[in-house]
A and B are shown apart, each in its own frame.
Chain A
Amino acid sequence: MNAPIIDPLQGDFPEVIEEYLEHGVMKCISFNRRGTLLAAGCSDGNCVIWDFETRGIAKELRDKDCIAAITSVSWSKYGHRILVSSADKSLTLWDVVSGERISRTTLQQTPLQARLHPGSSTPSLCLACPLSSAPMIVDLNTGSTTVLPVLIPDTSNGLVPQSRNKFSDGAPPYTPTAACFNKYGDLVYVGNSKGEILIIDYGTIQVRAMVPVTGGAVVKNIVFSRSGEYLLTNSNDRTIRIYENLLPLKDGLRALDDLDKTANELDGVEKLKAIGSKCLTLFREFQDSITKMHWKAPCFSGDGEWVIGGSASKGEHKIYIWDRAGHLVKILEGPKEALIDLAWHPVHPIVVSVSLTGLVYIWAKDYTENWSAFAPDFKELEENEEYVEREDEFDLVPETEKVKESDVNEDDEVDIVTVEKDSAFSDSDMSQEELCFLPAIPSPDIPEQQDKCIESSSKLVDSNHSGSPLSDDAGPNGRTTNHASSPLEDNSAAEDAVARKRKRKPSEKGLELQAEKETLKDDTFV
């Protein structure tokens, strides 16, 4: 997105539902690094990869062995691999381009969340958070698991023993513990049931630092921003907390070693706390003091400027958007279906939410037509301006028209070849090519369909142009249902699995706003 004329997208947030995607019952979603592909895990064990630009299905990853619901989806750094965790206790690693399964590991417990190591392009390690035991690092090649400590024992000798219970048989049940990698994957941050954030070096299975969360409530989610500068925790006390990461992004371990040396006179828990205070500082807290709602799937925007959290109440689909300073800027309300997953697009001000019914809603900005883009010599005025004529305005031959000199020096050098780096992605240590798109192979027409005139304006349900500014008089609109679906080449999906995109019937308030817009639209030019 090099073009300087595209509006700066930082600092914007979505406002309305633009579209929804439907394919089976989707449970969890994840964008690839650039937001060009959206992977969605379904309840039937399949993983669908959507091409986000065309809003069509780019690939389906089907596994005959896996028919249980997918619990989480995770991309590798450059988009070549996807890790899928499923309710049948398995972790499956896929190669995206070929659609082939690389490996499948079965755990003792259902992993609720699994994240591929974010530092490498072909990761073999992943972090899995099982349903009721401590998070573990799984080596996908060998299948071996390394359980991470979740509690700091009260011993004063500073040693952290291995977690007592590898598998919870006969031992006190753990509540699911949240964990995540830091940006480059050298450390794991764990949020435990005592309301502490533990910074763990998984190589040595040692807790290196501890940060107590105010209030000590169970930590349900822990997430880093894309830049790695901010950390977010979602606790049982209905508060989302933002921490600033004080450790350097790369080489976090070495910084911890340095901090270790400075805190040498302390011991055990005190030492870990002291180091912890140098790793994270509390920045902000977000809560809804009126409704005191529990939050679900909170995350940062792509640039870290905004924080979103979904309401965990059943029966409503609400997304709260705060700016990083803590101000609530918007509440997005969707149809009355519980929200189960949420993701912000890495680059654009687009939010994608998954509802309990399995639909994926795409929220985008409500676009108001920029008329000066169509007619540059028109200036849009906010209020009346007093116009003062030029001296020669009414002259027969105005002075200013006689001489028209080009103020451009045509001899200047013009460089048509050099490309500027995309500033939105500062990670330019790209040794491998990033996978941004899956090749689009057009599915062939059935011969008798070639004469058929495909009507393109069939399914414009009710009156809904929220966010689609161009569809009225121009007639045919692309978002239709293609009833006569031609056989899909590489997707062996049945007819009913063809992705259909339709506009949702807006809420009453939405219809009100539509009516307003309709009257405005009559004056528009086409």
Chain B
Amino acid sequence: MTTEPNESFRPYTLTQTLTGHKRPISAVKFSSNGRLLASSSADKTLRTYCLSNSDPTLSPLQEFQGHEQGVSDLAFSSDSRFLVSASDDKTLRLWDVQTGSLIKTLTGHTNYAFCVKFNPQSNIIVSGSFDETVRVWDVKSAKCLKVLPAHSDPVTSVDFNRDGSLIVSSSYDGLCRIWDAGTGHCMKTLIDDENPPVSFVKFSPNGKYLLVGTLDNTLRLWNYSTGKFLKTYTGHMNSKYCISSTFSVTNGKYIVSGSEDNCLYLWDLQTRKIVQKLEGHTDTVVSVSCHPSENMIASGSLGNDKTVKIWTQTKD
């Protein structure tokens, strides 16, 4: 419990800039073993970078080609062996991380595939699309197991909870819905008095809370069992793009998010105060990801910038 967060908080600084993508970046993700970073872009490719043990710099590894249109999202499997990506070509593609080869193409969505996640057991993939549905796929056979009539507007984000029993989906229609992953039945819908389009949703590490980003420049932490939100985080700009945010738990509890004013924002989870504003990108920061064990944040930015930047905490 930090009463004066600014004292014990060590600021993040920019340590690396990774170039290579030729068009806006849509998503960056660290693998769960912490050794890889992957980025997806509107240039139809995915790239992976590996983090060496010796020094915290990333070196480019592979480029994954195969999508016919820009890629909006990507996700690692829990064992970091596979990547799945969602693209405007309405497909999801499964890639082998080691070899960079395409393993499977998952077809079924009837409009842009926008968001994708593996479940913790990594035998199931969930995806959300502009066709307003959420689909659940079997990894082994690439068959679509379920189609959930999730929303009445494009689905912007999907996530699994800690044990893979729940799926949460968010949409421009202003709703977040929680589904039972096993049966596909809707368990709950989160609404508030006003329903601004929801651009992002994610479960907390313990699966009890939801971090919800809406296009009214607000991030909220909801307790979905009670249906009430507990914390609000503001100060950033988010009214156009689906900017992802995340929890930083490696050194104190923070919320990290990108913003349309080209900065990354860090808030203290409990006090909701902005503890740092990271500047350096030259366009909207659309995606952020925290390293699972190191104090490292990766961020990706849009067209004017097209880079992935790595920020680490200064060592004492």
Select the residue from A417, A440, A474 with max chain B CB neighbours within 10 A.
A440
Does A389 have its Cβ within 8 Å of any Cβ on chain B?
no
Q: Does A448 contact B (CB under 8 A)?
A: no
B31-39, B54-62, B144-152, B258-266: which lies at the interface: B144-152
- Which residues of B are found within 8 Å of A4, using beta-carbon distances? 225
A105 within 8 A of B: no
Would A478 and B122 be within 8 Å (CB), given that A374-B186, A417-B206, A444-B103 are in contact? Answer: no
Query: With A417-B253, A453-B107, A470-B149 as given contacts, are A5 and B225 in contact (CB-CB < 8 Å)?
Result: yes
Interface residues of A in 277-298 (CB under 8 A from B): none
Closest A residue to B255 by beta carbon equals A416
Q: Mark A1-31, 1 if CB is under 8 A from B, else 0.
A: 1111110000000000000000000000000
Contact B124 A53 (CB under 8 A): yes
Complex alpha-carbon distance, A35 and B137, angstroms: 20
B207 within 8 Å of A by Cβ? yes
A416–B147 touching, CB < 8 Å: no
A434 nearest CB across to chain B (Å): 12
Closest Cβ–Cβ distance, residue B267 to chain A (whole Å): 12
Given A53-B123, A376-B189, A376-B227: A413 touches B206 (CB 8 Å cut-off): no
A476 within 8 A of B: yes
Asked if B138 lies at the interface with its beta carbon under 8 angstroms from chain A, I say yes
A494 within 8 Å of B (CB atoms): no
In whole angstroms, what is the CA distance A445 to B139 when docked?
Answer: 12
Say whether A477 faces chain B, with CB atoms less than 8 Å apart. yes
Partner of B191, one of A377, A413, A476: A377
Select which of A374, A440, A456 is within 8 A of B144 by beta carbon.
Answer: A456
List, in ascending order, chain A residues with CB within 8 A of B208's CB: 2, 415-416
| Cβ distance A267 to chain B, nearest Cβ, rounded Å | 55
- A470 to B149 Cα, complex, angstroms: 7
Known: A2-B162, A56-B138, A470-B147. A419 touches B185 (CB 8 A): no
**A444 & B104 in contact (Cβ 8 Å cutoff):** yes
Residues of A within 8 A of B (CB): 1-6, 36, 51, 53-58, 348, 364, 367, 369-370, 373-377, 404, 408, 410-420, 422, 436-445, 450, 453-454, 456, 469-471, 473-480, 482, 526
In the assembled complex, 22 residue pairs joining A and B whose CB atoms fall closer than 8 Å, in A order, are A1-B165, A2-B162, A4-B225, A5-B224, A6-B165, A6-B166, A58-B140, A373-B185, A410-B272, A413-B270, A416-B208, A416-B221, A416-B269, A417-B206, A420-B206, A439-B123, A441-B140, A456-B144, A470-B147, A478-B138, A478-B143, A482-B141
Query: 9 additional contacts, CB 8 Å, given A376-B188, A439-B122, A445-B105?
Result: A36-B121, A54-B123, A375-B189, A376-B190, A437-B123, A439-B79, A473-B149, A474-B133, A478-B136
8 tightest A-B CB contacts, nearest first: A440-B123, A416-B204, A478-B145, A437-B121, A54-B138, A440-B139, A373-B186, A474-B147
